[in-house]
Structure 1
Amino acid sequence: MEGMAGQKSSLAWAVNIAAFLLVVLWTIPTLGLFVSSFRDRDQITASGWWQSFTGSEQTGFVRSGTADDQVQQEGLYVIEGNALEGSQTLRAWGIRAREPAAFQPGETAEMDGGIQLTVEEDGTYRMTSPTPFEMTRGERIFTTTVSPPSFTTENYNRVIGATGLGRAFMNTFTVTIPATVIPILIAAFAAYALAWMQFPGRALLTAAVVGLLVVPLQVALIPLLRLHNELGIGKGYLGIWLAHTGFGLPLAVYLLRNYMVGLPREIIESARVDGATEFQIFRRIILPLSFPALASFAIFQFLWVWNDLLVATVFLGNTREQLVMTGLLRELMGSRGGEWEILATSAFISIAVPLVVFFAMQKYLVRGLLAGSVKGG
């Protein structure tokens, strides 16, 4: 029979496929951002990142030389030049916008006044006329070219050397580390009290913590900022630390409390019989056993604070000395909206640290999240 102990459920394949699809959907945008960070502006504009490994096709036009560039050869007036740049390869060319690929490399096009134009595969062109050229503006030569795969580290050189990036990076660390450590410390004490200490109103406090999980932080931004101003905190690091602590505490208390409830009761009761105080039990037994849950919340809080823009804008400010990484990226999008290669590189640099933190602590993530899901107190 299906579903019996020791037998694999018929839904196992569906679960595995769903998990695989989620991993792919999460990985593909990150991979695309990473590849785009090594491409130049023209390549990003002309083709998608998935085409960067096979070369990209581009269509454009150049203007030929003018009458000032003509020379006389064997009774003909000749203008020569090259329609390509760099290591491009000519696939087709044309002389009209409606037919930009009318001719193959090496073919000759007949133009008005007996003018003939030939473009070779390497991009060199030769335009001949039986009478002197009189044009002051060159003829348009439309080209369809293929550029080989090309990657560069120049984007990283520009971004790393950009004004304010290092300061924004350090500002983000200054905000993120205390805003991750402080709620963990407070929530650990609160979670232990809600899990193992008996006092009136414990159930109501637990319900209040669960209720706070559904309150949008946007509702509290303005009232909290007014409170900070009345207390004299204003806009600064202390204010944003307290704001992130307040917004992160409900999830931290809920997660840690569920984990601590599932710890063996016998260990705690034995410690109490031996005369250990509540603080000794908390410090020597609960904290070491709760490390997976602490690490799980640390991952969530670190990622959320590092990627935050709204709270940083409200409680820290937008001056150059106070900008965090997300604020600097917003400025780059405003001032360099067309430089997609700079934006891709900046964005990847900003997510590099969260990726390192996530992969370094991911083994604790599932253990901390699933703890207490079956057994509760």
Structure 2
Amino acid sequence: MTITDQASQEQQSEQSAVRKPQTMRKGRFIIRTLSNSVVTGLALFIGLLWSVPTLGLFISSFRPASLISSTGWWTGLVPPWNFTLENYQQVLQAQGFGQVFINSIIISVPGTFFPMIVGALAAYAFAWMKFPGRDLFFLGIVALMIIPLQIAMVPILSLFTAIGLTGQYAAVWLAHTAFGLPFSIYLLRNFFASLPSDLMESAHIDGASHVRIFWSIILPLSVPALASLGIFQFMWVWNDLLIALIFLGGNPQSAPLTLTIANLVNTYGSNYQVLTAAAFISMALPLVVFFSLQRYFVRGILAGSVKG
């Protein structure tokens, strides 16, 4: 073998050694792209599948009773369209849904705000303050999340009746705050603990108190976690039926949407078009809240999942 042939073989082997990693990288890139496409397509399919009932409810709420009883909701997607606002007019005027909607807001806003504030204060204490039995107390609070709220209904109702809170909004606010605190503290404590400790140490060196650190540092950095907690708590309070039924005593003057819709099922069980309009009215505000805060949702849930 000549020197020229040997040099040519060495050059070819070097080129093949260079092409092999490039081919492997291209193959991994193609596999990763296909995997991401499959996952994305599957997620979109599941999202669309879950949206079908909401779409059907929305279309049915604008259709006359004659068409609802004779054809499926999907027929309303093709012309000629025959939509009407009569169902919403009947619900809002005849059933007083305007006042009921306000009642639900009066219940849901404080029922969401109070657990967030109290939970944030407690979560800060568990994350950045040292006191005897801190971990034991936190473990006990987390354990409360597995206790069904129905177990505590009877003693709490007896207590509220004794002090004269039954039938008032304050009873519902206190009940939702108490039942929502374990999850609030658990979620926010994990997020607070994941924040850089250098910030807290620098603030303490500069003479900041715990109150100043909480309001000036912790809360501004915790918007994603607070938004996620707000979504969870608002959805739970808005869709609650049991607590409102027990602590408000079925008072029609302060009844929320869920309680009124439950009564509509008994009163208008055959008028499906009225129920669809009422149900979509009850879904409208939670959908607005979720889509307004959804950009914080995943970030707030995943924050603190590694450290904490």
TM-score, normalising length: structure 2: 0.87
Partner of 2:137: 205
Question: In 1, are the aligned partners of 2:239 and 2:258 still within 8 Å (CA)?
Answer: yes
Deviations 1:328-369 (A, max 9, x none): 111111111111111101111111111111111111111110
Partner of 1:27: 51
Partner of 2:10: none
Residue 196 of structure 2 corresponds to residue 264 of structure 1: yes
Residue 190 of structure 2 corresponds to residue 275 of structure 1: no
Number of aligned residue pairs: give it. Answer: 284
Helix, strand or coil for the counterpart of 1:318? coil
Question: In 2, are the aligned partners of 1:240 and 1:311 still within 8 Å (CA)?
Answer: yes
Question: In 2, are the aligned partners of 1:256 and 1:294 still within 8 Å (CA)?
Answer: yes
Question: In 1, are the aligned partners of 2:167 and 2:251 still within 8 Å (CA)?
Answer: no
Q: 1:40 to 1:24 in 2, by over 3 A?
A: same
The structural deviation recorded for 1:47 is 1.6
More helix by share: 2
State which of 357, 363, 367 in structure 1 corresponds to 2:295.
Answer: 363
| Identity score, percent | 48
Residue 227 of structure 2 corresponds to residue 295 of structure 1: yes
State which of 321, 333, 337 in structure 1 corresponds to 2:253.
Answer: 321
C-alpha distance in structure 1 between counterparts of 2:206 and 2:241, whole Å: 50
Question: In 1, are the aligned partners of 2:191 and 2:222 still within 8 Å (CA)?
Answer: yes
Deviations 1:97-116 (A, max 9, x none): xxxxxxxxxxxxxxxxxxxx
The structural deviation recorded for 1:17 is 3.6
Helix, strand or coil for the counterpart of 2:237? helix
Helix, strand or coil for the counterpart of 2:94? coil
Alignment of 1:243-254 (within 5 A): 243-254=175-186
Which range moved further: 303-312 or 17-26?
17-26
- What is the letter of the counterpart of residue 64 of structure 2? D
Partner of 2:18: none
C-alpha distance in structure 2 between counterparts of 1:199 and 1:155, whole Å: 59
Alignment of 1:68-217 (within 5 A): 148-217=80-149
Question: In 2, are the aligned partners of 1:309 and 1:327 still within 8 Å (CA)?
Answer: yes
Partner of 2:3: none
Partner of 1:223: 155
Deviations 1:143-186 (A, max 9, x none): xxxxx541111112222212321221111111111101111110
Partner of 2:20: none
Question: In 1, are the aligned partners of 2:157 and 2:166 still within 8 Å (CA)?
Answer: yes
Structure 1: segments with no counterpart, 5+ residues: 56-147
Helix, strand or coil for the counterpart of 2:146? coil
- What is the letter of the counterpart of residue 227 of structure 1? L
Deviations 1:301-326 (A, max 9, x none): 11111111111101112122121111
CA RMSD of aligned residues (A): 2.1
Partner of 1:374: 306
Question: In 2, are the aligned partners of 1:164 and 1:320 still within 8 Å (CA)?
Answer: no
Question: In 1, are the aligned partners of 2:126 and 2:138 still within 8 Å (CA)?
Answer: yes
Partner of 1:40: 64
Partner of 1:348: 280
The structural deviation recorded for 1:232 is 2.8
Structure 2: segments with no counterpart, 5+ residues: 1-23
The structural deviation recorded for 1:274 is 0.8
Helix, strand or coil for the counterpart of 1:373? coil
C-alpha distance in structure 1 between counterparts of 2:184 and 2:33, whole Å: 34
The structural deviation recorded for 1:10 is 6.7
Deviations 1:10-49 (A, max 9, x none): 7534532442233123211111110000111121111211
Q: 1:11 to 1:250 in 2, by over 3 A?
A: farther
The structural deviation recorded for 1:9 is 7.6
- What is the letter of the counterpart of residue 308 of structure 1? D
- What is the letter of the counterpart of residue 158 of structure 2? R
- What is the letter of the counterpart of residue 46 of structure 2? L
The structural deviation recorded for 1:291 is 1.2
TM-score, normalising length: structure 1: 0.71
Which range moved further: 231-240 or 16-25?
16-25
Structure with larger Rg: 1
Question: In 1, are the aligned partners of 2:166 and 2:249 still within 8 Å (CA)?
Answer: no
Helix, strand or coil for the counterpart of 1:161? helix
